[in-house]
Amino acid sequence: MKQESYELFKSATVDEITAYLANELKTKNEPDFWASRVVPFSDAILSVLVVLRDEKKLFSPEGEMVEELTPELFFRWSDFVSLKSLAFKIQRTNRATDESKTEIDLSKLASYLSANNVNLENEQLDFPIPTYNLHQGVSNVIKSLL
């Protein structure tokens, strides 16, 4: 991974990180199929992770508190099973949050997951294997950009 990637994940906004990925996609001449998936996928994940980072509430898929958002942590969350789990964890946290604390906006992540056949009402329901495989491919493209 490039050092620049670590700096981006450490302090940049969602828009800055996704703009960087979009620019890298253009320079690498990735097929349109991947290009149309990388930015929305990254935007959905980062819409939650960057907020958690900025609020110093960032954690790993295993539930351990983490001080910095790194590309490696991003990729651990980009696993579609972990991403689904993140959405449900944030939903539960939002429900348990009292009115004096800020809820984390799940709208981008929820929309993305719903558009990819993830049921956000029942955590026990699985999603189609092709959805998982597709997102493994998207993650691999993102790795090649960072």
Tens-digit pLDDT profile for residues 79-109: 888 998 999 999 888 887 665 466 899 999 9
What is the value of pTM for the model shown? 0.89
Report which listed range, 10-14, 101-105, 138-142, is most confident.
Answer: 10-14
- Going from N- to C-terminal start, the domains of the chain cover 3-145
Other C-beta atoms closer than 10 Å to the C-beta of 7 total: 10
Mean pLDDT of the chain: 89
Tens-digit pLDDT profile for residues 31-61: 888 888 999 999 999 999 999 999 999 999 9
Given this model, what pLDDT does residue 99 score? 57
d(CA 14, CA 129) in angstroms, rounded, equals: 28
Q: Which two tokens stand for residue 145?
A: 């950009």
Residue 11 one-letter amino acid: S
- In terms of residues, how long is the chain? 146
d(CA 47, CA 54) in angstroms, rounded, equals: 11
First-to-last CA distance in the chain?
5
